[in-house]
Amino acid sequence: MNNNTEKTAVIVLGSNMGNRLEMLRLAIRWLERGGFKVTAKSLVWETAPWGITNQPRFLNMCVMVSSGLEPLELLASLKEIERLLGRKESVKWGPRVIDIDIIIVEDKIIDQPDLKIPHPYMQDRAFVLAPLAEIAPWIVHPRLKKTVKELLQALPEEKMDWIIRI
């Protein structure tokens, strides 16, 4: 239910098929058209795939948005944007034209079958932490009680040597 109380959320955008940069731009445009106020955008980073590694490299970025949507409504809205941009269901961690994931919503902890906030892998993913550290290094992971900057600094060096800011 939309209760008109603005909430701040961080989402990560990713694409490794087609015109990757244009997909990120279109996703931001659709967010704005969908009533989200984009309050911060990271630079774009090129990253090696995570999970299934035999696929093209991704372009990723983090975006901070505010909206009156509750987290499940936010998820539904982001899934609709993915669909509008041509995302098809495929294998988990496989190639995709666009991927939009909720990373964190303020200090909320949500553990539902279709939605886990904070994102359960955020602390392991340089492609989330590096761009997020650009725009909001002070955000505290509500479960781990560490800032984004601290989580990024804790990543092993081998997780960082394949990430390139473009």
Catalytic center residues: 87, 96, 99, 101
Whether residue 71 has a cis bond before it, omega within 30° of 0: no
Locate 134 and state its tokens: 């650009």
Strands 115-117 and 110-112: antiparallel
Phi, psi of 164 (to 5 degrees): -130, 125
Other CB atoms within 10 A of residue 39 CB = 13
